Chains A and B, each alone.
Chain A
Amino acid sequence: MTQLALVIDLNVCVGCHACVTSCKEWNTSGDAGSLADLMPYGRDPSGTFFNRVQTFEVGHYPETKTVHFPKSCLHCEDPPCVPVCPTGASYKRAEDGIVLVDYDKCIGCKYCAWACPYGARELDAKQKVMKKCTLCVDRIYDEKLSERDRKPACVLACPTNARLFGDVHDPESEVSVAIRERDGYALMPEWETRPANHYLPKREAPCDPPSPSSSSPR
């Protein structure tokens, strides 16, 4: 059975937010309606996004690393947000494992957001229904697009190729090989939600100060 997912390489993510803006552009323009922005030019702007890029500092100074960390719905294999939905609006597709919200059935009770430990779901302030990453389900199967464009908008936008997309149940897929060979991991394994999306950890690189011999002559 197919399980589509993203694999995010934390070695090369530079935190540029291109995935955030391209996601917003694609998903606010689709059939499902806009992702509401409230007072976008006001003092306290607020909007609905499927994808956020956050920044963390790991380690003790001076041995610290900056980790730019894109976060979207992880399309869990055992999604805790689905069984709690009282209307059946929240569901996981059998054919490709994408977790989706039926915007026509959602009543906006927010219960699924309570049941997601990752904060991946956002209630749209105007449509008053719950929204989340769809893995661009409205473009990855679109045969009017060229084959190379049938990928989520965030994947196509990433300038450093930090985002891989594919079937994590196919052991030979690019994403499965990356997870296997580069120690890919899931977030918050303690909740046993089995996220389909994985992250590739930063490789250990020596953090030595430059030696005088290797510095360039002045």
Chain B
Amino acid sequence: MRPAFSVVFLTTLIGAAQGLFLALFAGSFAADVSAPFLVRGSIVVVALAAGGLVASFFHLGRPERAWRTAAMWRTSWLSREVIALPAFMALAAAYGWMHARGGAGAMGVGIAAVLATLALFVCTAMIYASIRFFQEWASPFTLANFVLMGCASGLTLAAALASRGAPGLVPPYADCAIALTLLALVVRLASLSRNARIVPRSTTQSAIGARTPQVQQKSRGFTGGSFNTREFFHGVGPGGMRAIRWLFLLLAFAVPVLLLVGGRASPALLAAAFVIQYTGLLAERWYFLADARHPQNLYYQSVS
């Protein structure tokens, strides 16, 4: 696949927003939490999700028709995400608003927002996991990865936000962020190892229905490019892919954990931990999208 940056930003921004909201809701049960912290956090949640929503429009050929996308929620995970994302944003905004107004009713709205958060995680991950032709995506690892990386980055951001305004919450947030980042690392390594061993279900033989396995494409039928050659080939060589893999393992997992362990006394280092982890997540999500091979590629192996 050729990853679309709109999708990379959408999934990582809303993931961090969802993780941050879960952190805020959990933090609201702490004894010394202040309403302004929860309000400020909710504003960040809504801003991140809105950024993701804006990014998603860049993925559409006809963004002016985006209002139509909620129509097929009975069958399409993409349609369900289109409903779940604004619902999550509205509930998170209401949650912040109620804390600004003294906190009455915030608990009920918070629980509804937590449910919307979980639903959104499922919808976003299932957009990828439900396409069985991308065998790299069609696995429970996809949901686990989206949930864990979203929560890890959200908790790291929560720790950074808490360092100004709710210092008592920094240690529990940072501890949770470390645990989630390490768990996410374990799951990601497991999915990398699974994906490296995938046997493609389709072959050139099944693609054209040849009776012998010795089949070679001699011409794809045209010399110029097409949608099929642009959309489904990322064009990065094996060396580049290895480099991006090391980059995200370092930036999304190793460096943030070190900063969360050693830098939790410093607001600047906690902020750096989030920025670095988010940058790593961009690379991680890019790799996740790029690393998927589509059976249609069997028809586009040789120019002439």
Chain A residues within 8 Å of B, Cβ to Cβ: 17, 20, 44-49, 52-60, 66-67, 69, 71, 80, 82-89, 105-111, 113-119, 121-123, 125, 127-129, 185-191, 199, 201
Decide if A46 touches B224 in the complex (CB within 8 Å).
Answer: yes
Which residue among A45, A82, A114, A127 has the maximum number of chain B CB atoms within 10 Å of its CB?
A: A114
Contact partner of B228 (CB less than 8 A), chosen from A45, A111, A122, is: A122
- Which A residue's beta carbon lies closest to that of B210? A58
Cα distance A182–B176 in the bound complex, in angstroms: 64
Cα distance A84–B131 in the bound complex, in angstroms: 9
Whether B258 is near chain A, meaning CB under 8 Å from some CB there, is no
Report B105-129 residues with CB < 8 Å from chain A CB.
127
Cα distance A86–B220 in the bound complex, in angstroms: 31
Report B195-210 residues with CB < 8 Å from chain A CB.
201-202, 204, 206-210
Report B30-76 residues with CB < 8 Å from chain A CB.
59-63, 65-66, 68-72, 75-76
Decide if B60 touches A109 in the complex (CB within 8 Å).
Answer: yes
Decide if A108 touches B68 in the complex (CB within 8 Å).
Answer: no
Cα distance A20–B214 in the bound complex, in angstroms: 27
Decide if A56 touches B71 in the complex (CB within 8 Å).
Answer: no
Decide if A113 touches B231 in the complex (CB within 8 Å).
Answer: yes
Cα distance A114–B5 in the bound complex, in angstroms: 16
- Which B residue's beta carbon lies closest to that of A184? B209
- Which A residue's beta carbon lies closest to that of B209? A185
- Which A residue's beta carbon lies closest to that of B82? A86
Whether B78 is near chain A, meaning CB under 8 Å from some CB there, is yes
Chain B residues within 8 Å of A, Cβ to Cβ: 59-63, 65-66, 68-72, 75-79, 82, 127, 130-134, 201-202, 204, 206-212, 214-222, 224-228, 231-232, 294-297, 299-300
Decide if B214 touches A60 in the complex (CB within 8 Å).
Answer: yes
Decide if B294 touches A117 in the complex (CB within 8 Å).
Answer: yes
Which residue among B63, B76, B79, B204 has the maximum number of chain A CB atoms within 10 Å of its CB?
A: B76
Cα distance A20–B140 in the bound complex, in angstroms: 41
Contact partner of B232 (CB less than 8 A), chosen from A49, A56, A119, A125, is: A119
Decide if B65 touches A87 in the complex (CB within 8 Å).
Answer: yes
Cα distance A88–B72 in the bound complex, in angstroms: 6
A-B pairs with beta carbons under 8 Å apart, 17 shown? A17-B221, A20-B221, A45-B224, A46-B225, A48-B226, A53-B221, A54-B221, A56-B218, A69-B208, A80-B132, A87-B72, A108-B61, A114-B294, A116-B133, A119-B299, A121-B227, A187-B208
Cα distance A161–B78 in the bound complex, in angstroms: 42
Contact partner of A54 (CB less than 8 A), chosen from B82, B134, B231, B299, is: B299
Residues of B within 8 A of A20 (CB): 221
Cα distance A54–B220 in the bound complex, in angstroms: 5
